[in-house]
Structure 1
Amino acid sequence: MLAALITAPGQDKLEIRDAVEATGFGPGKVRVAIKATGLCHSDLSGMSGKIPGPAPLVLGHEGAGQVLEVGDGVTHVRPGDRVIVNWRPACGRCPHCRIGESNLCDSGSQAMRVPAFTSRGTDLYRFMGAGTFAEEVVLDAGFAVPLPDDVSYEAAALIGCGVTTGIGAAINSSGVKPGENVAVIGCGGVGISAVMGAKAAGAAQIVAVDPVARRRDWARDFGATTAVAPDELAGAVADLTGGLGFDHVIEAVGRPGTVRSAYEAARRGGTMCLVGVGGFEDMLPVNLLELFVSAKRIVPSVYGGDDVTRTYDRIIGLLRAGRIDLEALVTHRLPLAQVNDALDLMRTGEALRVMLTND
C-alpha cells in the first residue's frame, strides 16, 4: 500500500512509498482503511523533530476511516464501521482517566514507540500513535472511535484533531461564557476552530488576529466579528474593550512573541489559553511580578481540554444543529500521493485545511 514518511527528523519533504505493509494486527487491535486525513501543523513539527518520535516515521494523525478487521477482545466496533482516529485514547485506568481527563492520558503516546508498518525490510513507526498518511493502519482498539453515519469522513477527520483542539480550547479550557469578549491569535485550522467555539459559546466579540489577509477573511466567515493584523491588536484592545483587555485570549501559534501578545491583550483577571505547540527552548515570556499583579490565568489546552470523546460528542451535536460548518474548513483536497504539494499549501498560508483522500 501507499504511505508517506520521513526516514529521519529534519526532512522538509515526505517520502512516498508504495510498498508498505501495515503490521501488528492481533488481539486488541483494529485494522482501519483511512478514507480522509487532514494536514495539521503538528505534522510539520513531527517532520522537524519538534515533536520527537522514532524514525522511520509514517506521518499523519488527523484521520477517519472504515474498520476492515478487529482482533480478539474488541467489541466496540465491527468490520464495516466508520471511525474517527483518536490519537489520545483513554486507557480507562490511570488517574487522569478516572477523573475524566482522558486528554491527559499517556497510553496513546506509548503506541508511537511500537513499530506498525514494514517497508524494504525496515520497521516503520506511527506519528502520535496514528500514522494516518497511509492507505490503512493497524491501531490499538482505543484509537478507533465509532462515527455516526450522518457525519462525513472529512468532518470526522477534522474532529480527530484540529477542530477538537480549537473548539475545546474555547468551550472547555477557556470556559467562554455568553457576552464575553475573545481574541484568537493565529487563524489556521485550530485558530478558526477556536473562533467557531467562541461563537458557539455565545461570545459577544471575537477578534481574530493573523498576518495573512486571506486567513483574516476566513475568520470572519466562521464567526469573527473583527479581524486584524498582529500590529493592529493593541488598537483593537483600545477600541473594542476600552483598553481593559479581552476576557479570553486563545494563542494558537506556539511562539514566545505571540504568547506575549496574548498575555498583554488579556484583561486583568482574564485568561490566556495556550494551544500552539512550542519547543523545549521556548520560554514563557512572563515574569512572576506581573503575573501576580495582573491575576491573569495561563491555561494550556491539550486536545480540547476535557475527556476527548465527550468533546467529540459536543462537537457532533453542534454540527447536527447547524451551529458549526466543518467541511467548509477544507479549502483543498488532494490524493495521498500529492502530500508534499499539500504541505506547501499549508506552509504558504494558501490553505485553511488540506484534506488527503484515499479513493
Structure 2
Amino acid sequence: MEYMKAIAVMGPGDVRLVDDVPKPVLGDYEALVQIHACGFCNGTDMQIIQGTGGDLGNHVSCYPTVLGHEGAGEVVAVGRKVRHIHVGERWIHPNLYPDVGNGYKKTHGSMAQFGMVSDNQAMLEDGFSEKDFPWVKQHRFPDTMSYVDAGVLLSLAESHSAAVNFGVTEGTEVLIYGSGPMGMSLSLFCGLLGGHVTQIDKIQERLDMSKRIAGTEFTINSSEEDVDAALKGKKFDVAIDIVGSTDILYEASRHLKPGGKVGSMGVLRNNDLMVDTSRLQDNTSLHMLNFPYGEYAVMDETLALIQAGKVNPKDFYSHVLPYGQIREAMELVQSKKALKVILTMED
C-alpha cells in the first residue's frame, strides 16, 4: 500500500499534517488527480476543525477526517474504462471514498496529495444510473487558470448560485451581513445580476475592499455605526446572513419589505441551531441555504465571467501557504488577518 500526505482533523481543535493516509486506488471509471492547491474554507473547514458546526453533523464523517472541499489538481492517471477524462486535464473538487483507510474518514478529502474524480458520462453510456456515480460535485477548469486561483473557484460558484437561488434580479434591493470572501463575492454576483447591495461588517478594511472589488453601493461598519440609524428606514427585498447567527436572521427580518426574504447562508453553530419563527417579521419568508445548492450548474457561467474579466479570483484570497502551515492558516483566518488562505501541496 502506498501512502500520501494530507491534512487531517484528529478531533476537535486537533488538526495536523499527516503522512500515513492511503493513496487512492483507482476503480475502472475513476481518474487520479494530483492535488496542487486547496482553498481553506473560513466557515465549513474551521467549524469541522473546531467541532462547532451543528448543521455539519449529517455531512461530516467521524474523526479522524481528511479535510478539504476546494481542491484543484491535474489528472495523472485514469481507470481502464475512463473515456471522457484525460491525463493532463485540470479538475476541482477531487474526492476520496468515505472510508479512506488506515482509520481515516474524509470530509471530501481535497487537502491531500491525491484525490479522484469519476467519469460519470462513461458510466451512463455503460448502463449505470446517476445513483451509481461515486461523485457528482466535480468540474474541469481551463489550463489557463492557475491551481491557486482555482482554489477559490468553488467558493465563487457557490456565491453565484446563492445569488440566483435567493432570487436576485434587476433592481432587487439586497442587504448582506458579512464581508468576508463569501460576502464580497456574493455582493459581486448580486451586482452582476442587477441587484443593489448594502453590506454590513465590523471591519472597515473589508467593507472598503467590497466597494472596490464588488462594487458594493453602500456599506455600514456596525462596530462604529448604529445599523438602524444608518439605514434610515430603508427596506430590502432580500437580507442575507453570511456570518451564521440566528440573531442576525431576526435582525435581518426587521429590514425587509412586506413579502421579503431572509437568506440563511452562514453555517449555524451547534449551540445556535433553533430558529424562533416568532421573532421573524410577519409576512416574510426564511430561505435556508446553509449548504450550497446548484453551484455546479452555474460553474460554466462563473468560468465565463472570469474569462471575460468580470470576476478576478485573485481578489478573493489574500495568502498562499504550504499545507504544512495549516496552523498558521487557521490563525490568520481566526484573527481576520487573512481574507482567505489557499494551501499548496509541496512534494
* TM-score above 0.5, yes or no: yes
Residue deviations 1:246-290 (CA, integer Å, cap 9, x gap): 1221211111111222222222222211111114552123318x6
Match among 57, 64, 76 for residue 72 of structure 2: 64
Instruction: Work out whether 1:74 is the aligned partner of 2:82.
Output: yes
Residue 143 of structure 1: CA displacement?
4.4
Counterpart in the other structure of 2:184: 192
Show structure 1 runs of 4+ deviating over 4 A: none
Counterpart in the other structure of 1:55: 63
Instruction: Work out whether 1:250 is the aligned partner of 2:240.
Output: yes
Residue 151 of structure 2: SS of its match in structure 1?
helix
Is residue 36–residue 154 contact of structure 1 (8 Å, CA) maintained in 2?
A: yes
Is residue 149–residue 313 contact of structure 2 (8 Å, CA) maintained in 1?
A: yes
Residue deviations 1:321-355 (CA, integer Å, cap 9, x gap): 22222212111111111111011111111111111
Is residue 94–residue 110 contact of structure 2 (8 Å, CA) maintained in 1?
A: no
Is residue 86–residue 145 contact of structure 1 (8 Å, CA) maintained in 2?
A: no
Matched residues in 1 for 2:135 and 2:141: separation? 14
Matched residues in 1 for 2:239 and 2:5: separation? 41
Change (3 A) 1:298 1:73: farther
Change (3 A) 1:143 1:24: farther
Q: Give the length in aligned residue pairs.
A: 316
Matched residues in 1 for 2:322 and 2:177: separation? 31
Over aligned residue pairs, what C-alpha RMSD do you find? 2.2
TM-score, structure 1 normalization = 0.81
TM-score, structure 2 normalization = 0.84
Matched residues in 2 for 1:283 and 1:30: separation? 42
Matches for 1:1-359 after TM superposition, within 5 Å: 1-8=4-11, 10-11=12-13, 13-40=14-41, 41-49=43-51, 50=53, 51-52=56-57, 53-85=61-93, 114-116=98-100, 118=101, 122-127=102-107, 130-139=108-117, 140=134, 142-160=136-154, 162-170=155-163, 172-204=164-196, 206-222=197-213, 223-230=215-222, 232-238=226-232, 243-279=233-269, 281=271, 282-287=273-278, 291=281, 293=282, 295-301=283-289, 304-306=292-294, 308-359=295-346
Residue 244 of structure 1: CA displacement?
4.1
Is residue 24–residue 114 contact of structure 2 (8 Å, CA) maintained in 1?
A: no
Is residue 268–residue 290 contact of structure 2 (8 Å, CA) maintained in 1?
A: no
Residue 141 of structure 1: CA displacement?
5.3
Greater share of helix residues, 1 or 2?
A: 1
Residue deviations 1:220-253 (CA, integer Å, cap 9, x gap): 2222122212353222331xxxx24112212111
Change (3 A) 1:285 1:351: farther
Matched residues in 1 for 2:226 and 2:159: separation? 23
Identity of aligned residues (%): 25
Residue 178 of structure 1: CA displacement?
1.9
Change (3 A) 1:16 1:332: same
Change (3 A) 1:167 1:143: closer
Runs of at least 5 residues in structure 1 that lack an aligned partner in the other structure: 88-110
Residue 311 of structure 1: CA displacement?
1.0
